[in-house]
Amino acid sequence: MHQQKRQPELVEGNLSVFVSPTELIFYADDQSTHKQVLTLYNPYEFALKFKVLCTTPNKYVVVDAAGAVKPQCCVDIVIRHRDVRSCHYGVIDKFRLQVSEQSQRKALGRKEVVATLLPSAKEQQKEEEEKRIKEHLTESLFFEQSFQPENRAVSSEPSLLTVFLGVVCIAALMLPTMGDVESLVPLYLHLSVNQKLVAAYILGLITMAILRT
């Protein structure tokens, strides 16, 4: 007598859940980011049903918070941020996706996705750029100082690159600040306070490097 092949019993909580992306970033000043899409993948040979939970459901609207995914298919889950007040800046919320077989209630797998609201995409990019500049300059000075002792007997003068960077930083500090209406310098040469702080920080590192030569 032919016996039907049975699917092996799945253990609760052990099933891998595949979701992309695993982090959602909303920007208050960019309305296009207030709607994000989570994609849930089902690479298995059986159908899955899913449910989306959130630590702060009053701040979000989840379209189709529960549903099913066919075998070897995917489904998009739309998440809208509906409360972009400044008091929520930097707060990390969490979404949990639970999946199970359609014929069972127990959750076979879970996946958490973090969500963060930031004030501005431009400010975030500027901070990251300034951080990269500081890290790059620190590394450059570190390597320059590491190899310099061998050359001190030949020459103790600072390198042309160090002098050039120092001149650029001094020129940047002498340029007018944004908002200075009385200046005769063109507006595109007006620097922000953050840019001048970076220039002052770089000039300080260069000064320390020159004094050590």
Per-residue model confidence (pLDDT) at position 160: 78
Instruction: Give the mean pLDDT of the chain.
Output: 80
Predicted model pTM: 0.54
For the chain, the domains span 18-122, 159-174+192-212
Report the run of H or E that residue 42 belongs to, with start and end. strand 35-42
pLDDT tens digit sequence for 82-94: 999 999 999 999 9
Q: Reply yes or no on whether the pLDDT at 65 is more than 90.
A: yes
What does the alpha-carbon distance between residue 114 and residue 22 come to, in Å, rounded to a whole number?
Answer: 7
Quickly state the pLDDT bin for 81 (edges 50, 70, 90).
Answer: very high
* Mean pLDDT, residues 29-49 taken together: 93
Per-residue model confidence (pLDDT) at position 176: 78
* Mean pLDDT, residues 24-41 taken together: 94
What does the alpha-carbon distance between residue 196 and residue 168 come to, in Å, rounded to a whole number?
Answer: 11
- Per the structure block, which two tokens stand in for 64? 């189709």
Q: Supply the CATH classification number for the domain 18-122.
A: 2.60.40.10
Query: By the 8 A CB rule, do 29 and 121 touch?
Result: yes
155 vs 202, which has greater pLDDT? 202
Residue 119 contacts by C-beta under 8 Å, 6 or more apart in sequence? Answer: 27, 28, 29, 86, 89
* Mean pLDDT, residues 107-123 taken together: 89
